Copies of this chain bind each other. A is one copy, B any other.
Amino acid sequence: MQVLVYGAGQLAQMMYLEGCPMGIEVQAVDVKNEQVVHPVTKQPMNISLGQAIANADALTVEFEHVPEHLLEQASRSGKLYPSIDAVLIGADRVREKRLLTRVGVANCPHRVVTQIDQLDSCIEELGERLILKASRDGYDGYGQWRLTQSSELSALKTTLQGLDLESVPLVVEKMLDFDREVSIIGVRDKQGQIRVYPLAENLHHKGQLHVSVAPALNITDALQKQAETIFTILAEGMGYIGVLAVELFQCGEQLLVNEIAPRVHNSGHWTLSGSDVSQFNNHLRAVTGLPLGQSDSLKVSAMVNIIGCSAFSSDLLSIPGCHLYWYGKTVREKRKMGHINVTADNFAELGDKLRALSEYLPLEHFPKLEDEAKRLKSLSPA
């Protein structure tokens, strides 16, 4: 079987590595030049995009910002999973909010702004602590602005002046005092069967995910169930096929949807070593019509992103349960170079291992690691 993935980054690479043993050949599309490339080497394959589409058993995406004309071409093949509508929902916050409203899933109070002056009424309605997000092309903290008090408004208006808000509106959200960020990742197959991984807790720094812990600590059954219900409503509401990630804010016992990613997700990379069937494997199973695999966690896991650096000793592999996943990229600031998965039998042990790990890693690139190690030790049941 063949699966063609739009996007040729690490997610396509990890799909390739998981697909190969299942007899699924994954090819990737570099959406910048529309070339079909090998997902690991990134070398052009001797095949046109049209031919690759014709050959493929399924088409899918590794990121939501695929040019629309490519998505339309893919959709016309009748083999694109998830659907073009689902991908576009992930690429456009206005569509996303519209979906959330339509299916009645709780999310941040917000307004859609197409003219700068509408910001005044946003403050009246949502308060003066706001996050402004470009509806499209937002990625890892780019295209976002914050307002913490109304006195900053005029400066912000100046900043935003050049933007064409009619074609790319802003979604303005109330800044929430949430307890933490979690995410629920699951998969839905062509028969509508759903499997959901346990909630992960996500630690961000300067707009980028740094550490995920799964299962998230102190998750009640009710909270996990709430997340699974949200996942199910969204996946069924979109007729979704494949892996879907839903980022959530936890406010007390309530979960609010922050963002939907119509794809495998960074906060699910722990599944490569912490579950029997990874998110990449389950995504391929769903889009090719194979039976879904188990989505429970075998151990407790931490996923640590390697961002903007690669110079540290691989001797960290001496820590039991510690696995390196490099993406084969050259170093750039803020670039995700790889990740480290750590598994343990319990959270206290996971904390110990993260502390051990931090001794191998340059602190400036892993600012959350030591604190997270301490937190796991302190929060975990004795």
- Does A276 interact with chain B (Cβ within 8 Å)? yes
Q: Judge whether A291 and B320 touch: CB under 8 Å.
A: no
**Which one of A15-23, A135-143, A146-154 is at the B interface?**
A15-23
Number of interface residues of A (CB under 8 A): 31
Q: Judge whether B321 and A276 touch: CB under 8 Å.
A: yes
Cα distance, A14 to B20, chains bound together (Å): 10
Q: Judge whether B291 and A326 touch: CB under 8 Å.
A: no
Scan A295-321; emit 1 where CB is below 8 A from any B CB, else 0.
000100000000000000011011011
Scan A259-275; emit 1 where CB is below 8 A from any B CB, else 0.
00000000000001100
Q: Classify the secondary structure of A's interface with B.
A: mixed
- Does A325 interact with chain B (Cβ within 8 Å)? yes
Q: Judge whether B320 and A294 touch: CB under 8 Å.
A: yes
Contacts of A317 in B (CB 8 A): 22, 285, 290-291, 293
Scan A239-276; emit 1 where CB is below 8 A from any B CB, else 0.
00000000000000000000000000000000011001
Q: Select one of B21, B291, B292 contacting A323, CB under 8 A.
A: B21
Q: Judge whether A325 and B276 touch: CB under 8 Å.
A: no
Q: Judge whether A325 and B291 touch: CB under 8 Å.
A: no
Cα distance, A40 to B39, chains bound together (Å): 13
Contacts of A70 in B (CB 8 A): none
A291-B318, A317-B285, A317-B290 in contact; A22/B326 too (CB < 8 A)?
yes
Scan A309-350; emit 1 where CB is below 8 A from any B CB, else 0.
000001101101101111010000000001000010000000
Q: Judge whether B21 and A325 touch: CB under 8 Å.
A: yes
Q: Judge whether A315 and B291 touch: CB under 8 Å.
A: yes
Q: Judge whether A23 and B290 touch: CB under 8 Å.
A: no
Q: Judge whether A276 and B320 touch: CB under 8 Å.
A: yes
A317-B291, A321-B276, A321-B294 in contact; A40/B20 too (CB < 8 A)?
yes
Contacts of A22 in B (CB 8 A): 314, 317, 324, 326
Copies in the complex: 2
Contacts of A298 in B (CB 8 A): 298
Q: Judge whether A276 and B343 touch: CB under 8 Å.
A: yes
Q: Judge whether B21 and A326 touch: CB under 8 Å.
A: yes
Contacts of A20 in B (CB 8 A): 13, 17, 40, 328
A276-B343, A298-B298, A343-B276 in contact; A324/B291 too (CB < 8 A)?
no
Cα distance, A228 to B290, chains bound together (Å): 40
Nearest-neighbor residue (CB-CB) of A296 within chain B: B320
Q: Which of A13, A40, A285, A338 has the most CB of B within 10 A?
A: A40
Scan A4-45; emit 1 where CB is below 8 A from any B CB, else 0.
000000000110010011110000000000000000100000
In the complex, what's the smallest C-beta–C-beta distance from A40 to chain B, in angstroms? 6
In the complex, what's the smallest C-beta–C-beta distance from A348 to chain B, in angstroms? 19
Contacts of A325 in B (CB 8 A): 21
Provide 25 A-B residue pairs closer than 8 Å at the C-beta atoms, listed in order of the A residue: A13-B20, A17-B20, A20-B40, A20-B328, A21-B323, A21-B325, A21-B326, A21-B338, A22-B314, A22-B324, A22-B326, A23-B326, A23-B338, A273-B276, A276-B320, A276-B321, A276-B343, A290-B315, A291-B314, A291-B315, A291-B318, A293-B317, A293-B320, A294-B320, A294-B321
Given contacts A17-B21, A276-B321, A292-B318, 19 further A-B pairs with CB under 8 A are A17-B20, A21-B272, A21-B323, A21-B324, A21-B338, A22-B314, A22-B317, A22-B326, A23-B328, A23-B338, A276-B343, A285-B317, A290-B315, A290-B317, A291-B317, A293-B320, A294-B320, A294-B321, A298-B298
